Amino acid sequence: MPDGQGPHRATRSRSRLGERVAERTLLVIALSSIAALLLIAAFMFKEGLPFFARIGLKDFLASSTWRPQAKPPRFGILAMVLASLWVTLGAMLVGAPLGIAGAVFLSEFVPRRVMRIAKPTIELLAGIPSVVYGFIGVTVLVPWIRSNLGGAGLSILAGAVILGIMVLPTVMSISVDAISAVPPSYREGALALGATRWQAVRMVILKAARAGIVAGVILGMGRAVGETMAVIMVTGNAVTIPGSPLDSVRTLTANIALEMGYAIGLHRQALFATGMVLFVVIMLLNAVATRMVRRRYRKR
């Protein structure tokens, strides 16, 4: 055996062993995460499916009467489904245009060193507890709405504005990544053909990054649908079908959080059934976003 060959083989063997250990460790961690998600879903469906067998899906989704303490009890979530849709759509009307506009500005119109500082700073907003947003909404936004627009202040509008600010980091971060992933040749070709900077962005860059931007908006929508604490604090929690952005409403997530602490029996099962509805909606939104991103990379 030539001199030095033995130590090299031992080093390679240790390296391969370390790689296998790291691979197995990461595999166990990934499977643990998937297993935890499956266990949560299984527990939720185990608790919620008996409710559907007893009450029925149609009565649950089509009725707007939620009176768990009545005789007989009434479990209808239509008012809360509509409230969740109103608040979520309002949040996206606030957050999506601001997020996309901010992403375009950071990606195309500011120096790179500024973007390297600004983007992580914006992403830090996602780490602020939702109760802080709710507190700001209660002390600043709700009194302003009450004084200038009327109503109680605790309303769909307040929830939409607060949630719109909360989804900004998600929409903006993913949109920045999507725009930055567009090949430079697209931009250079548009400018070489005589387009202005804004025309190149509007007619070429945004169209090329459309799938990633839409995926970011959909993920932001999923965040808005699942938000709880800030919504409880600023929407008023009235179980009524909304007729105006200034009406007080109760969302599906708020209903679960407010009543799970004392619910028993069929009432508890109804709350788990509500969680199942939310779970399915958020999983569908995530699936749509994932599919759009995959389609984008397949086209490339």
Burial class for 123, CB neighbours closer than 10 Å (0-12, 13-18, 19+) = middle
Nearest Cα neighbor of 255 from 76, 111, 25, 49 is 76
Beta-carbon contacts of residue 239 (< 8 Å; ≥ 6 apart): 64, 66, 79, 80, 250, 255
Predicted confidence pLDDT, tens digits, the chain (300 residues)? 455 555 666 666 667 777 888 888 888 888 888 898 889 888 888 888 888 888 888 888 888 888 888 888 888 889 999 999 899 999 999 999 999 998 998 888 888 888 888 888 888 888 888 899 999 999 999 999 999 998 888 999 999 999 999 999 889 988 998 888 888 888 888 888 888 888 888 888 988 888 888 888 888 888 888 888 899 999 988 888 888 899 999 999 999 999 888 888 889 999 999 988 888 888 887 787 777 666 655 555
- Is pTM beyond 0.85? Reply is no
**pLDDT, position 60:** 86
Which tokens hold the place of 255? 């209903």
User: Same domain for 262 and 291?
Assistant: yes
Q: Note whether residue 180 is domain-resident.
A: yes
Q: Note whether residue 41 is domain-resident.
A: yes
**pLDDT, position 264:** 87
User: Same domain for 84 and 51?
Assistant: no
User: Same domain for 114 and 217?
Assistant: yes
Q: Note whether residue 93 is domain-resident.
A: yes
Q: What angle do CA 60, 64, 65 make, to 5 degrees?
A: 90
Nearest Cα neighbor of 68 from 230, 228, 274, 208 is 274
Q: Note whether residue 29 is domain-resident.
A: yes
Q: Note whether residue 134 is domain-resident.
A: yes
Cite the DSSP H helix spans in the chain.
5-55, 57-62, 78-108, 112-123, 130-136, 142-148, 156-180, 184-192, 197-200, 206-208, 210-226, 229-234, 252-259, 265-299
User: Same domain for 20 and 106?
Assistant: no
What total number of domains does the chain contain?
2
Report d(CA 25, CA 33) in Å as an integer.
Answer: 13
**pLDDT, position 3:** 54
Q: Note whether residue 140 is domain-resident.
A: yes
Which tokens hold the place of 154? 């605790």
Pairing outcome for strands 74-75 and 66-67:
antiparallel
User: Same domain for 114 and 260?
Assistant: yes
R_g over Cα of the chain: 25
Amino acid in the structure at residue 66: W
